[in-house]
């Protein structure tokens, strides 16, 4: 199976049924997955994870696996459903359910599911390590500017992993630009890490949209050197770094301006 681009942990992400040019799953297979997706969305919208709802969704996924097996198509769907289930717990701030499910999935009988869970475990460990010391990031921007987070101590910095070809990224641009204009003079900086492959498109887009901050570009797309080094597998990924250079959150999308203002007000 070719590499799947995992859904982001945002619930706006639908079950995409893999990016591979494999035959589309039968209608009942797809319908079953969409039903489970809707149940997970309902849990999220309820505002609280109850044991009954959580266990029911978990049983539904197990039943789906038993009913439809582990063909290439259904394995791809299972990976995405489990990833979305983890995303529900993560977005709702329920670390206990997230950790328990992640541990369980690490030994899942479906190898692709176990691999996905193991990758998330590794990412979580890497994130814990990142948050234990000032974030190290140096690069030469596309305009030739030398960027070093160490030189931005005393500022709040958004490290924005994005691409012009990414619809959710483009949707975030007006909010990011507005926040930059509002708070830049108070000590807010942005550095972009572009996963684009076309330099001219990147330059045109940033100019047209008033994105005046520095951008890293190496033309490698998902193999972007910096994004790979930080384990980025979905975009937009908006990381906020505080005035001491510490990574404080990887979820800057939610109420960006309020998060930045809070960090600016901190000692």
Bridge partner list, 190? 158
Q: What pLDDT score was predicted for residue 16?
A: 38
Q: What pLDDT score was predicted for residue 3?
A: 30
Q: Does the pLDDT at position 65 exceed 80?
A: yes
Contact 15, 37 (CB under 8 A): yes
Is the full-model pTM beyond 0.75? no
Q: What pLDDT score was predicted for residue 69?
A: 86
Q: What pLDDT score was predicted for residue 81?
A: 93
The CATH number assigned to the domain with range 138-265 reads: 3.40.30.10
Q: What pLDDT score was predicted for residue 15?
A: 35
Q: Which residues contact 220 (CB under 8 A, 6 or more apart)?
A: 195, 197
Flag the least confident range among 127-131, 139-143, 244-248, 261-265.
Answer: 127-131
Cα 76 versus chain centre, distance: 19
Distance CA 33, CA 13 (A): 14
What is the H or E stretch that residue 104 is in? helix 95-105
Over range 59-72, report the average pLDDT.
Answer: 90
Q: What pLDDT score was predicted for residue 12?
A: 37
Bridge partner list, 191? 159
**247-266: per-residue pLDDT in tens?**
999 889 889 999 999 999 99
Over range 132-140, report the average pLDDT.
Answer: 93
Over range 30-48, report the average pLDDT.
Answer: 90
**164-209: per-residue pLDDT in tens?**
999 999 999 999 999 999 999 999 999 999 999 999 999 999 999 9
Q: What pLDDT score was predicted for residue 20?
A: 39
Q: What pLDDT score was predicted for residue 9?
A: 37
Q: What pLDDT score was predicted for residue 36?
A: 93
Q: What pLDDT score was predicted for residue 25?
A: 58
Find where tokens 């190898």 sit: 111
Find where tokens 């499910």 sit: 101
**67-125: per-residue pLDDT in tens?**
988 888 889 899 999 999 998 998 888 889 999 999 999 999 999 999 999 988 887 78
Q: What pLDDT score was predicted for residue 73?
A: 83
Give long-range contacts, CB 8 A cutoff, 24+ apart: 195-203: 195/161, 195/162, 195/163, 195/166, 195/220, 195/221, 195/222, 195/224, 195/227, 195/235, 196/163, 196/164, 196/165, 196/221, 197/221, 198/164, 199/142, 201/164, 202/142, 202/164, 203/142
Q: Does the pLDDT at position 246 exceed 90?
A: yes
Q: Which residue has the higher pLDDT, 126 or 59?
A: 59
Q: What pLDDT score was predicted for residue 24?
A: 53
**221-242: per-residue pLDDT in tens?**
999 999 999 988 789 999 999 9
All structural domains of the chain with their residue ranges: 27-129, 138-265
């Amino acid at each position: 199976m070719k590499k799947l681009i995992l859904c982001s942990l945002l619930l706006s992400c639908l079950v995409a049924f893999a990016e591979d040019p494999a035959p589309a799953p039968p209608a009942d297979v797809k319908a079953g997955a969409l039903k489970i997706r809707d149940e997970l969305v309902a849990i999220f919208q309820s505002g609280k994870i109850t044991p009954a709802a959580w266990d029911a969704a978990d049983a539904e996924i197990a039943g789906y696996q038993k009913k439809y097996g582990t063909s290439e198509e259904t394995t791809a769907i299972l990976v995405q459903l489990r990833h979305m289930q983890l995303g529900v717990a993560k977005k709702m701030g329920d670390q206990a359910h997230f950790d328990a499910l992640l541990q369980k999935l690490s030994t899942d009988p479906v190898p692709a599911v176990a691999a996905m869970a193991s990758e998330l475990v590794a990412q979580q460990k890497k994130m814990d390590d990142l948050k234990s010391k000032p974030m190290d990031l140096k690069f030469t921007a596309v305009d030739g500017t030398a960027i070093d987070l160490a030189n931005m101590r005393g500022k709040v910095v958004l490290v924005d992993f994005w691409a012009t070809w990414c619809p959710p990224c483009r949707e975030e641009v007006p909010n990011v630009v507005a926040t930059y204009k509002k708070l830049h003079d108070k000590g807010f900086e942005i550095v972009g890490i572009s996963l684009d492959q076309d330099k001219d498109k990147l330059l045109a887009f940033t100019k047209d949209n008033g994105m005046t901050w520095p951008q890293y570009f190496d033309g490698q797309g998902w193999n972007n050197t910096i994004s790979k080094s930080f384990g980025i597998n979905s975009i937009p990924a908006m990381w906020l770094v505080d005035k001491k250079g510490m990574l404080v959150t990887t979820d800057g999308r939610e109420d960006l301006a309020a998060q930045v203002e809070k960090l600016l007000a901190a000692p």
